[in-house]
Amino acid sequence: MAVITNIDDLKRIYRRRVPKMFYDYAESGSWTEQTFRENSSDFSQIYLRQRIAKDMSNRTLATQMVGHDVSMPVALAPVGLTGMQSADGEIKAARAAEKAGVPFTLSTMSVCSIEEVARKTTRPFWFQVYTLKDDDFMRRLIARAKKAGCSALVITVDLQVLGQRHKDVRNGLSTPPKLTPKSILDLSTKWRWGLEMLGTRNRFFGNIVGHADGVSDPGSLASWTAEAFDPALDWTRIRHLMDMWDGGPVILKGILDVEDAKAAVAVGADAIVVSNHGGRQLDGALSSIRALRPIVDAVGDKIEVHFDGGIRSGQDVLKAMALGAKGTYIGRAWTYGLGAMGQKGVTAALEVIRKELDVSMALCGRRDIHEVDRDILLVPEDFEGRWAAN
């Protein structure tokens, strides 16, 4: 078995094992990918303060996210199509999260349906919805999540229109993959992936096919998706969608601006996720880590502020927590693990991050994740940018 020392090790194996089309789907940002790259690289501008001769015994990372106990402040972000990264991928990831004691968030665009994931797991997971135009579909989708026992609703608010990812266009991304001479050649080298995929019936968008009007066969899905997102979304509509859910906390995901964070407080959300969709939407937007502190300073005492974007290590989690996040999410990091080694790979990704977070926290002289604050950081004075007045 391969030795896994960090998230990059998982990424290397992932690249070898999963068809190029799906690797590219995960490993890309919109347009020039500037925001995608900076989400990760901006972490390295922040330094950690090494402390010594502090009691580093009996450490704990346990905390809560939206009132739910978590063994560390790291949830699995909603990632679409993970059932194509590995057969029944959503079930494998949910099980790994369950074992690790962290939340799993199922995407609307998952391959395994809400019901299927609920059947194959023992603990409630969170469910993510996109803001779609079709009120009846939204109502039914949210009711299905409630019925399946989901314990929090994540509403993704940064995808009214879709940012373009060049690789997906070039690859003609589809679920399941279309057979062209190029994709057949690629698939022939990914036999392990193919064999596993033959063993499952979950190969389409399980939450949508057969549930949305006019989408009974996967062929009609592409046109439905293009039409489905609501470009006219506003705060009244967000409140309306929140009202469809009475199954626990509501988390608004995809906030990068202080004004929008204030509006999220006003609309009554329980938490926000400072996020730019992993650099997949507005290319040229600030990295999430640069957007975090001003948002925490503006609304951190009124709403729980969560964070995602660019996390590839426990040190990254530590920095986000020190800047004031109450919890973080990983997207690609667990996807690499899943594609590399299925459930074991997701577990490995979580364990890598847990260990890095724990030891780095200790080396900063802290024993409890609740004691982690800005004092452990050295942040450049202009990290958030000094911008010309408009």
Ligand X SMILES: Cc1cc2nc3c(=O)[nH]c(=O)nc-3n(C[C@H](O)[C@H](O)[C@H](O)COP(=O)(O)O)c2cc1C
Which residue stretch of 133-141, 187-195, 256-264, 326-334 sits at the interface with ligand X (rule: CB under 6 A)? 326-334
In the region spanning residues 145 to 164, those forming contacts with ligand X, defined by CB under 6 A, are: 156
Q: Site for ligand X (CB under 6 A): how many residues?
A: 24
Phi-psi region of 81 (alpha: psi -120 to 50; beta: other; left: phi over 0): left
Distance in Å, CB of 281 to ligand X, minimum: 9
Give, in order, the Cα–Cα distances in Å from 103 to each of 311, 344, 353.
Answer: 16, 17, 15
Per-residue contact track with ligand X, 29 to 68, x per CB under 6 A?
Answer: ----------x-----------------------------
Residue selected from 19, 73, 78, 314 as contacting ligand X according to rule CB under 6 A: 78
Distance in Å, CB of 106 to ligand X, minimum: 9
Q: Which residues pair with 251 in a beta bridge?
A: 154, 271
Distance (Å, whole) CA 131 – CA 16: 35
Listed in sequence order, the residues at least 6 apart from 49 whose beta carbon sits closer than 8 Å to its beta carbon are 364, 365, 375, 376, 377, 378
Q: Which residues pair with 76 in a beta bridge?
A: 104, 330
Q: Which two tokens stand for residue 3?
A: 């030795």
Residue selected from 163, 249, 314, 331 as contacting ligand X according to rule CB under 6 A: 331
Listed in sequence order, the residues at least 6 apart from 99 whose beta carbon sits closer than 8 Å to its beta carbon are 347
CA nearest neighbour of 269 among 158, 157, 161 = 157
Which residue stretch of 52-60, 238-246, 262-270, 328-336 sits at the interface with ligand X (rule: CB under 6 A)? 328-336
Per-residue contact track with ligand X, 280 to 319, x per CB under 6 A?
Answer: x---------------------------xxxx--------
Which residue stretch of 71-79, 238-246, 263-271, 369-377 sits at the interface with ligand X (rule: CB under 6 A)? 71-79
Q: Return the number of other C-beta atoms located less than 10 Å from residue 180's C-beta.
A: 11
**Contact set with ligand X (CB under 6 A):** 25-26, 39, 77-80, 107, 109, 128, 156, 253, 275, 277-278, 280, 308-311, 330-333
